[in-house]
Amino acid sequence: TETFVVGSKSFTAVAINTAAKAGQWIKTKLGDINHVGTKFSAQDLVTEVDKGSEKLIRNLIMTHFPNHSILGEEGVEPGPEASAKALQEMSDEEYLWIVDPIDGTTNFVHGFPFFSVSIALAHKGEVIVGVVYDPSRDELFVAEKGKGAYMHGKKTEVSEDETLLTSLIATGFPADRDGALPINLKGVQALSPKVRNIRVAGSAALHLAYVAAGRLSGFWEIGLNAWDIAAGALLITESGGRVTDTEGKPYHLGVRNVMATNGHIHEEFQNELAVAEATGFVK
């Protein structure tokens, strides 16, 4: 339809080709990093590969859609305030590409093969295309608003788990800790006795793609940015799942505390997080 195609160039085709090209390039750089820098805290890492991947992605998108806007992690000053401001300034753009050039930089630096490239396209603030690419497994997840989500031509569907008891879920520990316990540890305390098990694998975008594909039944994380979530959120809703903030409010680009499930366990999941919040557990 007109929404997705300009001339002969489909938005989705450009998103797919760009994510695939960036991911394949990243993979050639694994184990070949000369310098690891830090951003907002000692645990907040960045490499020349993050920056190179973002450059490659920006160039490809700009070649095809020169009048579109691009919000990319490495084009924004580090820290939550700067990224919220950058999103706010750009969220009114008609077409906004939202890019995480490597989601899971810590894994990339350590050679732990769980990282991804995340590319979303928003039209007037609503995500219409989402692509998450995992170069280590050559798995590409793609969703178009209203048209479903796919992995290599096969429709993805969320899991059928009806309760936490049979659910494998995931979360992420934030980089900006500076010696403190991760903020979501009380959520881990509340949920861990209720679920089958919990994974903390290090790429929010890929965790979200796994919820879409039914490999995980739920995921939550505190303090993320638009580029971590936008593509994965569309993958999940187009696979039959549900994405909100941790208070159950509908997902939008400004959501930082995200909760995503197969839909069936959403309320139970949210109740346990609320219990954790109310009763405190670890501080």
| Residues in touch with ligand 2AM (CB under 6 A) | 40, 44, 73, 100, 102-105, 172-176, 202-204, 221, 223-225, 228
Active site (annotated) includes residue 246: no
* Cβ–Cβ < 8 Å for 253, 98: yes
Task: Kindly tell me which of 178 and 267 has the beta carbon lying closer to ligand 2AM.
Answer: 178
The two tokens of residue 180 are: 């403190």
Task: Kindly tell me which of 78 and 248 has the beta carbon lying closer to Ca ion.
Answer: 78
Active site (annotated) includes residue 92: no
Task: Kindly tell me which of 100 and 268 has the beta carbon lying closer to ligand 2AM.
Answer: 100
Q: What does 241 bind: Ca ion, ligand 2AM, none (CB cut-off 5 to 8 Å by kind)?
A: none
How many other CB atoms sit within 10 Å of the CB of residue 123? Answer: 16
Active site (annotated) includes residue 105: yes
**Chain-centroid distance, C-alpha 121:** 13
- Residues with Cβ within 8 Å of residue 62, at least 6 apart in sequence: 68, 70
Catalytic, out of 26, 102, 236, 265:
102
Active site (annotated) includes residue 228: yes
Active site (annotated) includes residue 50: no
Q: What does 172 bind: ligand 2AM, Ca ion, none (CB cut-off 5 to 8 Å by kind)?
A: ligand 2AM
Cα 18 from Cα 25, distance rounded (Å): 11
The two tokens of residue 188 are: 């881990």
Task: Kindly tell me which of 95 and 173 has the beta carbon lying closer to ligand 2AM.
Answer: 173
Does residue 51 sit in helix, strand or coil?
A: helix
Residue 250 main-chain phi, psi, to 5 deg = -55, 150
Q: What residues does 103 pair with on adjacent strands? A: 116
Nearest residue relative to ligand 2AM (C-beta): 172
The two tokens of residue 76 are: 């924004």
Active site (annotated) includes residue 32: no
CB of 144 to ligand 2AM, least distance (A): 23
- Residues with Cβ within 8 Å of residue 97, at least 6 apart in sequence: 61, 65, 68, 69, 70, 71, 119, 120, 121, 122
Task: State which of positions 224-243 bind Ca ion (CB under 5 A).
Answer: 228
Task: State which of positions 29-88 bind Ca ion (CB under 5 A).
Answer: 73
Residues with catalytic function? 73, 100, 102-103, 105, 228
Given the rule CB under 5 A, which residues bind Ca ion?
73, 100, 102-103, 228
